[in-house]
Chain A
Amino acid sequence: MAGPAASVHEEALLRPLSSFRPKLFVGSLLTGLLVGVLFYSWGYQIVNDIGVAGINRPVFWGFYIVNFVFWIGISHAGTLISAILRVTQAEWRRPVTRCAEAITTFALLIGGLFPLIHLGRPGVFWYMMPIPTERGLWPNFRSPLMWDVLAITTYLTGSVLYLLLPMIPDFAIIRDKAMREHPKSLRTLFFRVAAIGWRGTPQQWFSLEAGIRTMAVVIIPVAISVHTIVSWDFAMAIQPMWHSTIFGPYFVVGAIYSGVAVLMVAMYLLRKGLGIGEYLNDKVFNNLGLMFLAFALLWGYFTFAEHLTVWYGNEHAERAVFDARISGEFAPLFWTMIVVNVLIPLAILPFPKGRKPLGTAIVGLGVLVGMWIERYLIVVGTLSFPRLDFNAGSYTPSWVEIGILVGSVGLFGFLYFGFLQLAPIVSLWEVREGEHIKNRQAPAQQHALHPASEEA
């Protein structure tokens, strides 16, 4: 059985939890500075009113909504992908699930921040909370924004629990180890609390696994509903190139696409930075690379279908938006998007050599940029061309909006670096379980009966 053999590599996973890592410290520090930029910019906006952003009439929505859609899209990296892999019992998922689910949780937290940043009166955001007040008035559940509130709350709750549940046995492993090595340290106390008294009895395992399985089944439709509803924020509006039935699936595909992209980049960095190539090995990159390729094709197909329909329909208001994208003021962005989202992935990912860590990470970075551009084109592209031509407008982001975008990336890194120091980024027990399954399938080995130790 895999006991000691597994533990050798596990050391690499546990190191960031038990000792000072200069790389992690520097990373936390730098991203921490960006978090400062985020909160400075946001504070500046709260004090000086929403007008310090570059949004205007008719472009009422700008960077904040773009970032909102972008981060919610990123959040489809984890929970959805890991749930799909769990439900399909893909064995190679084991080292991937944890780092992916953490991405989901943090990206959702940040994505959920943007509607708040975006509000004209952030102080009364709670008008959107379904709570009884003396006003007697409840939120308007016909509004897609209310669906957003409920869907994102559901998804965040589900994702956090889905991340935490499988972490309990890992915390117990670390607790059991640490209790012997440093019984008095603060870290040990943290893991004792975090393990919430997990013992690892068959009944506990049975219930936990049943719970994880059920959560995986529930979380898939929730994740799909979340990005569908985000797309409905646009599709429910009768604006040119928003009011489209394809938007639901188009956004879901785009979300998973950007999710896989960020997962690729994160896995590459984790592998390099923590030296855990044993876990995040080439096979994992290859398999996720294939999934990545599939989504590149899907996204390209949806993009084509969407634009073909508009071009062929040739409706005046829609054509204005369409032409600005294809050959007008948004053309440089549009064609950059096509290059990084379709052409580069199709040039690299079909080849086994391209699906190595570096290749997928480079494609991933490009896709992240491309998917951000896609949302920018959808939000700003449409709003710049209202149906009454007289009101056409344009949009230039202010330093506040740029600061908040950059800061949000920093906040994500900061949270992730913090997470690395609190939990093993690869699920210990799930990998161990994988080893056991592998060993069981291998020709039965003879083991001497050998009680390791006894105590009275």
Chain B
Amino acid sequence: MTRWGMAIDTDRCTGCGACAVACHAENNIQTVGEEEAGKGRAMHWMRIERYYEGVFPDIKVRFQPVLCQHCAHAPCEPVCPVYATYRTPEGLNAMVYSRCIGTRYCANNCPYTARYFNWFSPEFPAPLERQLNPDVSVRPAGVMEKCTFCVQRIQDVQDVAQTEDRPVRDGEIKTACSQSCPAQAITFGDLDDPASLVAQLGRTERATHLLEDLSTEPSVTYLRGGR
């Protein structure tokens, strides 16, 4: 079996935001504008949270990229009345836009606040419409969305591997965020393959999970505090 997962090395993260921008471009995420963002409606499937440790002047900023954690026991899934979000056999927390009716219950029940809602229809003023990714649908107003682990890229690589009659190689799939990270802090791969890099990183001493005590069993591992 395959279980897609990610490891994010927060010790490497510089907080540059390249991942968030790449995600926008890859996944046709709308930019809501200053006014809407001021209302708390900015949409970034991948966001960089900043936490400050210590007291000025002895202060340290920690960056924490947060995206959908693709939990094995995702609290968002069972509360949806119309199965718009469920767990795929490959361990993805899938979001089916056409089923979503916009109750927003899933977003309320996500402890990571990783879900984003289309309050209005997306607009891509010229020439932005030219950079839309044809592999990803544009979501209408009233629909929930969130990180998909770049499912379209996974699909692509799997298709190629299938035609070449071979298994998907470790590191062959790169999500937009991991591809664009200059510090190479983001690793993507199959957690069920013990030899994969992401599984190896998950076994190191630095591996932690976000809000682990909620037993949501996230597929994203954070690496921090290394020697």
User: A287–B211 Cα gap in the complex (Å)?
Assistant: 51
Beta-carbon contact of A128 and B102 below 8 Å: no
Beta-carbon contact of A60 and B143 below 8 Å: no
User: A239–B66 Cα gap in the complex (Å)?
Assistant: 18
Check: B169 CB closer than 8 A to any chain A CB.
Answer: no
Closest chain B residue to A396, Cβ basis: B39
User: A236–B99 Cα gap in the complex (Å)?
Assistant: 22
Which residues of chain B come closer than 8 Å to A56, judged between CB atoms? 39-41, 119
Q: What's the least CB distance linking B54 to chain A, in Å?
A: 16
Q: Which of B79-106 contact A (CB under 8 A)?
A: 79-83, 99-105
Given contact pairs A51-B141, A388-B49, A57 touches B101 in the complex (Cβ within 8 A): no
Beta-carbon contact of A239 and B108 below 8 Å: yes
User: A292–B63 Cα gap in the complex (Å)?
Assistant: 53
Q: What's the least CB distance linking B175 to chain A, in Å?
A: 21
Closest chain A residue to B211, Cβ basis: A387
Which residues of chain A come closer than 8 Å to B118, judged between CB atoms? 120
Chain A 230-247, CB-CB to B under 8 Å as 1, else 0, gives 000100111100000000
- Could you say which of A59, A145, A389 contacts B40, with CB atoms under 8 Å apart? A59
Which residues of chain B come closer than 8 Å to A115, judged between CB atoms? 103
Q: How many residues of A contact B (CB 8 A)?
A: 44
Closest chain A residue to B50, Cβ basis: A390
Which residues of chain A come closer than 8 Å to B120, judged between CB atoms? 48-49, 51
Q: What's the least CB distance linking B99 to chain A, in Å?
A: 7
Check: B124 CB closer than 8 A to any chain A CB.
Answer: no
Check: B142 CB closer than 8 A to any chain A CB.
Answer: yes
Query: What is the size category of the interface that chain B forms with chain A?
Result: 35 or more
Which residues of chain B come closer than 8 Å to A389, judged between CB atoms? 51
User: A140–B79 Cα gap in the complex (Å)?
Assistant: 8
Beta-carbon contact of B142 and A120 below 8 Å: yes
Beta-carbon contact of B79 and A145 below 8 Å: yes
User: A124–B142 Cα gap in the complex (Å)?
Assistant: 11
Q: What's the least CB distance linking A339 to chain B, in Å?
A: 29
Which residues of chain B come closer than 8 Å to A142, judged between CB atoms? 78
25 contacts between A and B (CB under 8 A): A48-B120, A50-B142, A51-B120, A56-B39, A56-B119, A120-B101, A120-B104, A121-B100, A121-B101, A127-B82, A127-B99, A128-B82, A139-B81, A139-B82, A140-B78, A143-B80, A145-B80, A236-B109, A237-B105, A239-B111, A387-B113, A388-B113, A388-B210, A390-B64, A391-B49
